Structure 1
Amino acid sequence: MNRTDATADPGGAERAWRGIAETSVLLDGFHAIKHALRFGASVPLALTSDRAAVLALADELAPDVRDALDALLVRVPDERLRALVPRLHPTAVAALAVRPSRAANLEALARTPRTAPVVVLDDPRNLGNAGAVIRLAAGFGATGVVTTGTLDPWHPTVVRGGAGLHFATAVERMDVAELPHGPVFALDAEGEDIRSLKLPDDAVLAFGSERSGLSERLRARADHLVSLPMRPQVSSYNLATSVGMALFHWSAGRPPGPGA
C-alpha cells in the first residue's frame, strides 16, 4: 500500500495493521520509529492521529528520516489508533517493523574478529531494564545483546525501553552453552576490580539477574570474574547502570572519534 492509497483509505491501513501486528515489532512513539529507520529496519506501516505534528518533530529532531516518515505515515482518528495501540506514546505515532531474522543475528554475533563486546544478560527478569541495556549497548556500538532464560528480548515492553535501537545491534535469546566466542568477563561482587583490567574488543560481558545474580552455568563458563567499584554497604547497582559502567570502561581504552 503506497502513501496516497493509504491516506485515501485509512480503514485499509487499519486492516493491514491488524493483519501483520502479531508477527511484527511494535515501534511505539516517534523516537522508536526514528531509530529503527536510521538503522535500516523494514517498516511497512506507520499510523498517527496527527501527521503534521509528527512531521514537525522530524523537521526539528530528525530531518534525516523526514522523507521516509512522510511516505509511511497514515492518519487515522485518535480513538481508532488507540484501539490498535492501547498504550499510545504521547507523540501519537506507532509503526510496525519486521523483526530481523534469528539467523542474521546469530551470524552477526558469531562473526570474528569483533571490534566491540557482546553483552549477555543472564536470566534477566525486568523487561524495562532489558530495554535500557539494549539502548546503552547500541549507543556504545556493542556487537549485540544476548539474553539467557525465559525473557524475550523482543517483547514489546523491551522494545519500548530500547527506543527502537534493537535495530542498531544484534539482539537474541540464547542458551549459555551457545554464547558467542570470546573471553567471558562476568560481573560479580567478589571479582577483580574492573579498573585493574583492560577489556578486549572480543569480550563477552555477562551480567547476572537483578534478583539472584549469575547462574551457576554462567559462572562456570566465565574466564574472569570482575567487580565494579562500589561503596561499602551499598548492595548493588541497577542492571543498566552496571552495563553502562562496564561498557564505558571498555570504551575508555579506545581512541575517541566516530563509532569509538
Structure 2
Amino acid sequence: MTDPGPDPGPDCGPPAAWHRNAGRCVLLDGFHALKHALRFGAEVPVAVTSDRAGALALADELAPDVREVLAGLLTEVSREAYASLVARPHPTAVAALAVRPSRAAGLEALARTPRRAPVVVLDQPRNLGNAGAVIRLAAGFGATGVVTTGTLDPWHPTVVRGGAGLHFATVVERLEVAGLPPGPLFALDPEGEDIRGLELPDDALLAFGSERSGLTPELRARADRLVALPMRPQVSSYNLATSVAMTLYHWSAGGGAPRVP
C-alpha cells in the first residue's frame, strides 16, 4: 500500500488556503469565470476543482491561452471539500478566489479623460443576475466601466457569477450619483429622444434605471439628454441587459467597436 503521507492537518492544504484568503477576495464560480479573470490579469491566490482532468480538458478545448497557468494553479480536492467551499457547486466543478482590483485605480480610470468608450451606469439596480449580465456585456463591448448606484453590491458573488469573471476586464464600482465620472450623461427613458437619431460620444455616461421604477429623480436631474429605445406600443419594457446591449451596439455602430491590441 502506498503511504499517503502525514495528515496535513487543519491549517494546511487548499481548504485552509481558501479560508485564509476568503475575506480579501471575490469568488470565481466555475471554469469560465476563472478563465476570464486570468485572461485579464486577476491575482488568483487559490483555485480548486474536484475534476482536474476535466478542467484541463476544457482549457485545451476552450482556453489554450491560459491552460499552462491553470495547470499550475488548480488543485484537485474531493467533491465534499469542493462543495464545502461554495454555496452552489458549479457544473464545471471549479472555484477560485481572486483579489478584488484596487478601488483607487478603478476610480482613476473612470475619471480619466478623454475616454475611448462609455461608462455604463446602473441606477439603483435590483437584480443581481441582471447586473452580472450587464458587466459581461460592457466587457465585451470594451466599455470603460460599469458603475452602480444604490445598495446592490456589484461585486456580490451572484453578480460575479453572472458576469462570468469579466469584472476583471472592465472597471466595476459603486458610486453616488453626485460622484459619477465626468462626461455627458445620456439616460434611457421612454420619454426621451429616439436613439436612432443620436450619436453617442465615446466619453458618454449611459444610464439605465431599474426595470420596476426607472430612473431616480436624482439621476434624471443629472442627465444631459433622455434617450429612448425603439419599442412596439403596449410593450412595457426591455430586460435591463437587453437595453444595455442595444445601446452599446448603437454606440459601437458609430465606430466605437472594441479595439484589438
Residue aligning to 2:4:
none
- Partner AA of 1:251 in structure 2: S
1:71 CA drift (Å): 0.7
Residue aligning to 1:38:
39
Residue aligning to 1:27:
28
Flag the 1:173–1:41 CA change in 2: closer, same or farther, 3 A: same
**2:147 counterpart SS class:** strand
Flag the 1:212–1:113 CA change in 2: closer, same or farther, 3 A: same
**2:255 counterpart SS class:** coil
**2:33 counterpart SS class:** helix
**1:96 counterpart SS class:** strand
Residue aligning to 1:175:
176
Point out the more displaced range, 248-257 or 52-61: 248-257
1:228 CA drift (Å): 0.1
Residue aligning to 1:233:
234
- Partner AA of 1:18 in structure 2: H
- Partner AA of 1:246 in structure 2: T
- Partner AA of 1:217 in structure 2: E
Residue aligning to 2:198:
197
**1:254 counterpart SS class:** helix
1:255 CA drift (Å): 6.6
User: How far, CA to CA, are the matches of 1:221 and 1:41 in structure 2?
Assistant: 34
Conservation of the 8 A alpha-carbon contact between 1:26 and 1:97: yes
1:59 CA drift (Å): 0.4
Deviations 1:75-118 (Å, cap 9, x if unpaired)? 11001110111311100010000000110110110111100000
Percent identical pairs in the alignment equals 76
Asked if 1:141 corresponds to 2:142, the answer is yes
Flag the 1:117–1:132 CA change in 2: closer, same or farther, 3 A: same
Conservation of the 8 A alpha-carbon contact between 2:141 and 2:258: no
Conservation of the 8 A alpha-carbon contact between 1:29 and 1:94: yes
- Partner AA of 2:19 in structure 1: R
Residue aligning to 2:84:
83
1:258 CA drift (Å): 4.0
User: How far, CA to CA, are the matches of 2:243 and 2:198 in structure 1?
Assistant: 16
- Partner AA of 1:254 in structure 2: G
**1:115 counterpart SS class:** coil
1:40 CA drift (Å): 0.4
Conservation of the 8 A alpha-carbon contact between 2:185 and 2:207: yes
Q: Which residues in structure 2 correspond to 1:119-158 (within 5 Å)?
A: 119-158=120-159
- Partner AA of 2:173 in structure 1: E
1:9 CA drift (Å): 5.7
Asked if 1:18 corresponds to 2:19, the answer is yes
Q: Which runs of 5+ in 1 are unaligned?
A: 1-7
1:209 CA drift (Å): 1.0
Conservation of the 8 A alpha-carbon contact between 2:117 and 2:256: no
Conservation of the 8 A alpha-carbon contact between 1:141 and 1:259: no
User: How far, CA to CA, are the matches of 1:255 and 1:160 in structure 2?
Assistant: 27
Residue aligning to 1:5:
none
Q: Could you state the TM-score of these two structures normalised by the residue count of structure 1?
A: 0.94
Flag the 1:78–1:147 CA change in 2: closer, same or farther, 3 A: same
User: How far, CA to CA, are the matches of 1:256 and 1:170 in structure 2?
Assistant: 18
**Total equivalences in the alignment:** 253
Deviations 1:157-211 (Å, cap 9, x if unpaired)? 0000000000000000000000010000000000000000000000000000121
User: How far, CA to CA, are the matches of 2:171 and 2:68 in structure 1?
Assistant: 26
User: How far, CA to CA, are the matches of 2:137 and 2:8 in structure 1?
Assistant: 39
Flag the 1:144–1:9 CA change in 2: closer, same or farther, 3 A: farther
- Tell me how large the CA RMSD over aligned residues is: 1.5
- Partner AA of 2:141 in structure 1: F
Flag the 1:131–1:255 CA change in 2: closer, same or farther, 3 A: closer
Asked if 1:251 corresponds to 2:252, the answer is yes
Conservation of the 8 A alpha-carbon contact between 2:122 and 2:147: yes
Flag the 1:259–1:199 CA change in 2: closer, same or farther, 3 A: farther
Residue aligning to 1:220:
221
